[in-house]
Structures are given as structure tokens and as C-alpha cells.
């Protein structure tokens, strides 16, 4: 019998999980709950120009779940096709416009998501965490605040550590998310930015209560990466877990960590991407189930194929 898995996050993290899980549809029935606070780039401009939800993270998750090749087919079509005309459409890619204009003319954002999912034959279901526009706000250790996901994700010289984040307004969760959580066997968080992606996806009203009432096992896919110029969050694995549990009202059951030593080629790739590596302070996580199995690509970065096998083995181990 398939296990129902709900993944939480946004941007590249949710896409990574969907790519990993779609390889094992005999085991997983997969749902993604995607944060809807993106305020930068094309998504940020579209949400302002059309007074709608940011499409970018939803687009990534849907395309990552497709049965078709991302590199050969989906990326050139949905990201490589851009409108050069003047006006609101200028500079935006086809994928973001499909969701934005589709929801505007269909009258419902989920109709546009479902249409895109059917068109690319997605192997999982993608839900926005909320259907109401909102902004992510961070309170920093020095007492100042950063307003908007883009400001938190790229704080520049404002590197005071993040103390807490919230949504303004504190919007309701999309009901489909709550139903998926209620019926889930596993709830998986990450990888990706702790606050801007993972925590942002659990902040809408109703999600916390649904997680608390759920009988699902909680899994944190930590990976091993944080962005050196990204949000001013933790740099040690134990602190990532502690902070996540401030927003998820239950103890994490399993932590998946990519703790392998990097080759020269991989280290050079991390330097090029301006990535730091999480400190693996296992001694502070002695009461957690830690799965320390490498899932690094040969050239650097997390490998969805290797991650998929780890997740499959984790889930099936509970059946034995």
C-alpha cells in the first residue's frame, strides 16, 4: 500500500523533493505544500502587477514532478520562453504567466495549477500553502525587522540573526493542505532556506494544528547547505532542528543529513555557488534518528536520485 507523503518548502527545496519522490510512485503518493510569500524577481513583480499569488515556487514544484525531462523539454519551454512586449508581460517567462493569467481568467488559482499539472503529467499534487496574498516578516536579534521574503533572503549588511518570522496578514491555510496533512503517513520538511522556504510554508493558520493532530512521522531533510549571503539563520544542524521545532509543534522523528567529505571539484562548486556547509554537531542530537548517508552529485549539490532511494528505504523500513 502506498504511503501518503506531504513535503513542505518552497523554491528549489520542494522541487528537489518532488524530483526525488516521483521516481518511486509505487511507494509514494506525494503532495507538496508550497510557501506563498515570494516577493522577489518575476514572481514578486507579477504579484504586484496582477494582485495575485507568486507563481514561481509553484511552477518549480509542478515541473519537478513531471514525467517529462526538465532539462531537455520543460526548462526550455517554460523558462526559456519570455515575452519581450512592453507592458505587464514584459520579461516574464511562459510558466509564470501560465499560472498568473490562467488563474485570472479561470477565476481560481487551483484551476491554473491543476491545468499545468495535467499538461505536464505531474506525478504528484502541488498545493499553495494559502490562497491569500501575504508577506513574510522577520524580527532580528537587534530588534529591527525585515519586511518581505526578498529582504529576508538577501539581507545585505543587515546580518543580525533572525529571532522569529511571521506572516502579515496571518492568512488561512488552503483547505487542501489541511486535508493532505490529516491523511498523511509522513510529513517531510526541507531542504532549503529554513525561514524563507520551510517555515514560511507552515505559518498559515490551521497548518500547525493539523500537524499537531497528525499521526504522521516527521522527517527533516536537512541536506548540508546554507547560503552564505542568504537569510541570517543557523549554521549548525542542531540549531536548524531546534528552530524548526519552534514552528512545528512536534518533535522531528528522523533527520536526513548529507555529511560526506567534499572532493576538490565539489568544494569548488560550493565556493562558486557561495554555499556554506552546516556544522554536523551530532552530539547535540543524540535523541534523534539521524540518517547520515551521502547524496551529493559528482560535481557538487544534492542528488535527487540518491535522495529518493534514501527516502524509499526510510519509509519502507517502518513496514518491516
Share the mean pLDDT of the chain: 93
Dihedrals φ, ψ of 295, to 5°? -140, 55
- Give the whole-angstrom CA distance, residue 55 versus residue 74: 16
Q: Which long-range contacts (CB under 8 A, 24 or more apart) does 280-286 make?
A: 280/224, 280/237, 281/236, 281/237, 281/238, 282/237, 284/236, 284/238, 285/237, 285/238, 285/241, 285/255
What confidence tier does 147 reach under pLDDT thresholds 50, 70, 90?
A: very high
In Å, how far are 46, 144, 190, 224, 284 from 160, measured between CA atoms?
30, 9, 23, 22, 24
What confidence tier does 318 reach under pLDDT thresholds 50, 70, 90?
A: confident
Let me know how long the chain is: 320
pLDDT at 86: 58
Mean pLDDT value of segment 240-258? 96
pLDDT at 24: 97
Who's near 319: CB < 8 A, 6+ residues apart? none
Residue that is written with C-alpha cell 541570517 in the block: 232
C-alpha cell at 306: 540518491
C-alpha cell at 291: 540518517
What are the pLDDT digits (tens) for 40-79?
888 888 888 888 899 999 999 999 999 999 888 999 999 8
The more confidently predicted of residues 171 and 87 is 171
Q: Is the pLDDT of residue 234 over 80?
A: yes
Q: Among 28-32, 44-48, 149-153, where is mean pLDDT lowest?
A: 44-48
Q: Is the pLDDT of residue 246 over 80?
A: yes
> CA-CA-CA-CA torsion for 34, 38, 43, 47, nearest 10 degrees?
100
- Give the whole-angstrom CA distance, residue 312 versus residue 320: 13
- Give the whole-angstrom CA distance, residue 311 versus residue 20: 8
- Would you say 152 and 231 are in contact if contact means Cβ atoms under 8 Å apart? yes
Has this prediction a pTM greater than 0.85? yes
Q: Is the pLDDT of residue 88 over 80?
A: no
CA end-to-end distance (rounded Å), the chain: 13
Q: Is the pLDDT of residue 103 over 60?
A: yes
What confidence tier does 105 reach under pLDDT thresholds 50, 70, 90?
A: confident
What confidence tier does 320 reach under pLDDT thresholds 50, 70, 90?
A: low
Q: Is the pLDDT of residue 85 over 90?
A: no
Q: Is the pLDDT of residue 104 over 70?
A: yes
In Å, how far are 15, 86, 116, 177 from 82, measured between CA atoms?
21, 12, 17, 31
Structurally, what CATH architecture does the domain formed by 3-317 represent?
3-Layer(aba) Sandwich (3.40)
Mean pLDDT value of segment 217-225? 95
Amino acid at each position: 500500500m502506498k504511503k501518503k507523503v506531504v513535503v513542505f518548502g518552497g523554491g528549489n527545496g520542494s522541487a528537489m523533493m518532488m524530483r526525488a519522490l516521483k521516481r518511486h510512485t509505487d511507494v509514494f503518493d506525494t503532495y507538496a505544500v508550497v510557501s506563498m510569500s515570494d516577493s522577489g524577481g518575476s514572481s514578486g513583480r507579477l504579484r504586484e502587477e496582477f494582485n495575485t499569488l507568486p507563481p514561481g515556487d509553484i511552477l518549480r514544484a509542478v515541473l519537478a514532478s513531471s514525467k517529462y525531462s526538465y532539462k531537455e523539454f520543460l526548462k526550455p519551454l517554460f523558462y526559456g520562453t519570455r515575452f519581450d512586449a512592453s507592458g505587464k508581460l514584459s520579461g516574464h517567462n511562459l510558466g509564470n504567466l501560465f499560472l498568473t493569467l490562467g488563474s485570472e481568467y479561470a477565476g481560481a488559482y487551483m484551476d491554473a495549477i491543476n491545468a499545468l499539472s495535467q499538461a505536464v503529467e505531474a506525478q504528484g499534487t502541488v498545493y499553495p500553502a494559502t490562497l491569500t496574498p501575504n508577506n513574510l516578516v522577520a524580527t532580528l536579534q537587534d530588534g529591527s525587522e525585515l519586511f518581505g521574503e526578498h529582504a529576508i533572503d538577501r539581507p545585505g549588511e543587515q546580518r543580525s540573526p533572525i529571532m522569529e518570522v511571521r506572516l502579515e496578514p496571518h492568512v488561512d491555510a488552503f483547505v487542501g493542505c489541511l486535508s493532505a496533512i490529516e491523511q498523511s503517513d509522513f510529513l517531510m520538511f526541507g531542504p532549503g532556506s529554513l525561514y524563507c522556504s520551510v517555515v514560511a510554508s507552515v505559518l498559515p493558520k490551521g497548518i500547525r494544528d493539523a500537524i499537531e493532530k497528525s499521526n504522521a512521522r516527521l522527517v527533516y531533510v536537512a541536506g548540508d547547505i546554507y547560503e552564505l549571503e542568504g537569510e541570517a539563520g543557523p549554521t549548525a544542524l542542531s540549531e536548524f532542528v531546534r528552530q524548526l521545532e519552534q514552528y512545528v509543534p512536534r518533535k522531528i522523528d528522523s533527520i536526513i543529513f548529507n555529511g560526506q567529505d567534499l572532493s576538490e571539484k565539489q568544494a569548488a562548486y560550493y565556493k562558486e555557488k557561495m554555499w556554506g556547509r552546516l556544522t554536523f554537531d551530532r552530539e547535540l542530537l543524540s535523541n534523534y534518528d539521524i540518517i547520515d548517508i551521502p547524496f551529493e552529485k559528482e560535481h557538487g549539490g544534492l542528488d535527487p536520485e540518491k535522495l529518493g532511494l534514501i527516502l524509499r528505504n526510510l519509509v519502507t523500513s517502518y513496514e518491516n
